[in-house]
Structure formats: C-alpha cells, structure tokens
C-alpha cells in the first residue's frame, strides 16, 4: 500500500504509486468519497499547478492523517470539511477545499 510522506517543502507518495509535489505547486485541493460497494473511502485530490497532474490520496494509506494536518496548517481549508464529505454514505460528496484561483491568501 502507498505511503504519504510530508516534508517542509511538499509531499510525496512512495510505494506502488508514486507522486511528488511542492506545497507551492498546488493549484487545487478537493475531497470526495469513493464507493467500494460495502464501504466508502475518503480521498483527497491535489491538482498540480501548470500541469494536468492530479494526485489522489486515500484515507487508508499510511501518512493520511499527517497529510490532513499539513494541508490544514498550510492552506485555508474549512475545518468542517470531513463531516460534509463523510455524510451521507455512499455518495461522492465532492468538495473543493481550496483553490489557488479562488483563494488570494498565500499558503502559510
């Protein structure tokens, strides 16, 4: 299973899936659920600026909690996003958590 690694300058995914981006390269952060028939998983998607890259990160991966803490620390993300994405069950509940084009606030 992939592992999310948080660093001072960005994040990377190691293991069977690989990805890497700097905090300053993030253009958009979204959250949504994926229906796996008998249960859902919450995912965070990161769109990388000036490319078509989209990094999908799953809650069951090691380092996901640290990822959420890092995103909430660095970006102006609503604190109630998890409950809005979690419920109701078996619905995608996609939400844009942060977008560079909509947020003029610089990352912290």
Given this model, what pLDDT does residue 33 score?
93
All residues at 6 or more sequence positions from 79 whose CB lies less than 8 Å from its CB, including other chains: 72
> 47-89: per-residue pLDDT in tens?
998 788 899 999 999 999 999 999 999 999 998 999 999 988 7
Domain ranges within the chain, ordered by starting residue: 3-99
> 19-56: per-residue pLDDT in tens?
999 999 999 999 999 988 888 999 999 999 878 889 99
Given this model, what pLDDT does residue 102 score?
67
Residue written as token pair 């947020």: 103
Name the pLDDT band for 103 (thresholds 50, 70, 90).
low
């Amino acid at each position: 299973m992939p592992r999310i690694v948080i660093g001072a300058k960005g994040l990377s995914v190691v293991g069977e899936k690989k990805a890497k981006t700097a905090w300053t390269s993030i253009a958009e952060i979204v959250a949504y659920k994926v229906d796996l028939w008998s249960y859902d998983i919450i995912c965070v998607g990161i769109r990388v600026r000036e490319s078509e890259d989209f990094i999908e990160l799953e809650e069951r991966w090691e380092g996901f909690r640290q990822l959420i803490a890092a995103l909430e620390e660095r970006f102006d993300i609503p604190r109630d996003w998890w409950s809005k994405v979690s419920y109701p069950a078996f619905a995608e509940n996609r939400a844009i958590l942060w977008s560079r084009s909509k947020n003029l606030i610089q990352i912290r």
